[in-house]
Amino acid sequence: MPDLPVDMAQLTQHLAKINALSPDTSGQNRLVYSPGWVAAQRQLLAWGQELGLTVTLDDYGTVYLDLVGRVQPETIIATGSHMDTVVQGGPLDGLYGVLGGLQALLTLKQALGQPKKTLRVIAFSEEEGSRFPTTFSGSKHYARIEDTTGLKDKDGLDFDSARTAAVAQLAGPDIQRTLPKLPATFTELHIEQGPRLAAAKAQIGLVAAIVGQRRYTVTVTGVANHAGTTPMAQRQDAFQATVQFINRLFLLAQSLSPDLTFTVGELALTPNTVNVIPGKVVFTVDCRHTDTTVLDNFETLMGNTAALLSHDPLTISVSRWAKIPPVQLDQQLLAQNANLADQLQLSHLTLASGAGHDSQIMTQVTPTTMIFVPSIKGISHAPQEATATPDLLAGVQLLTASLYRQAY
Ligand code: HGY
Ligand code: MN
Ligand code: MN
């Protein structure tokens, strides 16, 4: 393995530059197709052009930076992650995989010049599902699995017009406009977003599997009425029914499996007024597990419980808008990275990911693996998300070695 010194100062600058583009002070709010998201993708395109890479933009706003191979240019070894964030998110989720991938590519270009096979860094447009009711729209489009359309965000703006307007702002001379071909392999560098690596004092996580996840919107409809004159026994209080329903769901989740995660992340009352009995409550459910049967059982029990608690005129309806299967990742690439981590004297742990990732889409079309680095206190999807610099460096060093092994 040649000496491949990673310029950590440059990566730190790149991370700081993109995170400074988010106008909000409360963490990162780079929601897909928002002005902050356009500014970040624009900056990435500019870096790609300045560094002499082949730069491509697809119709969903995903950016591809290629260092074209001199022997097998058609064979692509890819890395990358997503550019969007959750609301009030952290500075590393997704972005570390994009800029760490760019840093690995630059390290190899500086040390060894052109690779035999093409090296590609991908900045997927959207993964989180934090603006529109969909997830992984960028990687699903690239993988030719599914196209996203007909969706609206909370302000009623539709996905297609937000997408076309944002992409139009990014297009420019010598930026290729196409949907590039699929790679021979895909490796995603990502923060763990959990406590396992820190607890095991491991520098690196090698991901064997990713949980399946399902997301739902639940609508509870009752009767809005006066908070003072309506006797308690005569109410159709949508919020009281919601509390009963959610309490039962927490208990059902625990009874099915200690590893089943169940989260109510969003909840809105209507009319949301101090002296009015809520006539309507809308909330979201996110549930995850490595076993599809557990997710199926929970979905059935949730539907049965909704029916049990509904009594005219009070109704509870559950609508599923995301169903991502649990996946196993490529064993050979994982074994290769374990071997490289040993050579680099990096301690490592093999684990399943409780977070969803673009890799669970990419693994459906090409051999895929993930490299994790520890999250301090296991915190993620919050402004406090952080990883120690030596761990950020270790992740890029292993990714660089893995890309070297595959492309040179
Ligand atoms: O929600 C997730 O698991 C990922 O961070 N999108
Ligand atoms: Mn992520
Ligand atoms: Mn995330």
CA distance 323 to 42: 31
Ligand 1 within 6 A of 128 CB? yes
Ligand 1 atom at minimal distance to the Cα of residue 127: 6
| DSSP state, residue 260 | -
**Alpha carbon distances (Å) from 390 to 80, 397, 399:** 20, 10, 14
Q: How far is the CA of 93 from the centre of ligand 2 (A)?
A: 5
Q: How far is the CA of 332 from the centre of ligand 1 (A)?
A: 25
What is residue 362's predicted lDDT score, i.e. its pLDDT? Answer: 98
Ligand 1 atom at minimal distance to the Cα of residue 93: 5
Ligand 1 within 6 A of 127 CB? yes
Ligand 1 within 6 A of 356 CB? yes
* Residue located via tokens 């600058």: 13
Ligand 1 within 6 A of 358 CB? no
Q: Which amino acid is at 190?
A: H
Q: Which ligand is nearest to the CA of 81?
A: 2
Q: How far is the CA of 82 from the centre of ligand 2 (A)?
A: 7
Q: How far is the CA of 395 from the centre of ligand 3 (A)?
A: 18
Ligand 1 atom at minimal distance to the Cα of residue 356: 3
List helix spans (H) across 148-260: 159-170, 196-200, 238-256
Q: Which amino acid is at 174?
A: D
Instruction: Compute the half-sphere exposure of residue 165: CA atoms within 13 Å on the CB side of its CA.
Output: 11
CA distance 403 to 229: 70
CATH of domain 212-323: 3.30.70.360
Using a CB cutoff of 5 Å, list residues around ligand 3, an ion. Answer: 93
Ligand 1 within 6 A of 281 CB? no
| CA of residue 39 relative to chain centroid, distance | 19
Q: Does domain 8-211+326-407 have CATH number 3.40.630.10?
A: yes
Q: Which ligand is nearest to the CA of 353?
A: 1
Q: How far is the CA of 261 from the centre of ligand 1 (A)?
A: 12
Q: Domain extents for the chain? A: 8-211+326-407, 212-323
Pairing state between β 327-328 and 204-210: antiparallel
Ligand 1 within 6 A of 69 CB? no
Contact 316, 304 (CB under 8 A): no
Ligand 1 atom at minimal distance to the Cα of residue 82: 6
Ligand 1 within 6 A of 355 CB? yes
Q: Which amino acid is at 80?
A: G
CA distance 207 to 366: 16
What is residue 173's predicted lDDT score, i.e. its pLDDT? Answer: 87
CA distance 293 to 326: 11
Of 384, 340, 393, 28, the C-alpha closest to 193 is 384
Q: Which ligand is nearest to the CA of 89?
A: 3
Stretches in the chain below the pLDDT threshold 50? none
